[in-house]
Amino acid sequence: MKKILKLIYQPYKWLFFAPFFFISTFFFGTLAVLLCMIFDPRLPSFLCGSTWARLNGWLTPMFVKIIGKDNIDKNQSYIIAANHQSQYDIFLLYGWLGIDFKWVMKQELRKIPFIGISCEKIGHIFINRFDKKAAVAAINAAKKKIINGTSVIFFPEGTRSRTGELGSFKKGAFKMALDLELPILPVTIIGTRNILPPDTVDLFPGTAVMIIHKPVSVKDYNEDDLQTLSDKVRNIINMPLQESRT
């Protein structure tokens, strides 16, 4: 039955959704650049980014379930750590998290037309993964933006999981949390991999679940405890992933 439904979905995907995605990306990317010339980047980030993400999510369609939104204090800045299953994680976080944040993105994404320039103007953070010195400099420059309720999102795995299993975590998010003395907000994403598997265009409607966990304070940790802190956050994110497979 699913194979038949996928076959039926193909004309919609290629004749309606794909053109809409490219047109909306051009429109909202251009609008974000223009608005950044007039307003504080927070406004175009929310107005353009959230609207773009929600429209594309709804038209997939992606059905969204949010758990734990009351764990967010909108006046508090966070280091947000989320697992990474699919490109649809971007729609889910941008469209439904509901707070101002900056992405930590790989440098290669800067080259994507409309998305790259709009992300730069909004203030997202591009990291050269192959130049450690440049990556550290970019992170240090970004720290000035993480104030007054603006947060920063990391995918600590560094890339999408190809198996669905949670990968090992890099230390950058946890180092920044200690440096800025900000709580870590763990986020578990479930289901986006079924909507758009990594390295494919095998798009299909589905349900995405975002679980926002209670913040993890870093007050009792120092740089010697980075692995302990990383393991604690990873275990929090991983528990619902394991439960979803049982």
The identity of residue 199, as a single letter, is D
Q: Where are any strands of DSSP class E within 9-100?
A: 62-67, 79-82
**Given this model, what pLDDT does residue 107 score?**
80
**Given this model, what pLDDT does residue 31 score?**
94
DSSP 131: -
**Given this model, what pLDDT does residue 200 score?**
95
**Given this model, what pLDDT does residue 202 score?**
96
Structural tokens at position 138? 């970019």
Kindly list the domain boundaries of the chain, sorted by start residue. 2-244
**Given this model, what pLDDT does residue 131 score?**
78
Q: Residue 161: which H helix or E strand, with range?
A: none
pLDDT tens figures, 92-110: 999 999 999 998 877 887 7
For 2-244, give the CATH class.
alpha beta
pLDDT means per 10 residues, the chain with 246 residues, are 92 98 94 93 90 97 98 95 96 96 82 80 82 76 83 92 92 92 97 96 97 97 96 98 88
DSSP 5: H
Pairing outcome for strands 184-190 and 206-212: antiparallel
The pTM for the full model equals 0.93
**Given this model, what pLDDT does residue 103 score?**
87
Cα separation, 15 vs 23, in Å, equals 13
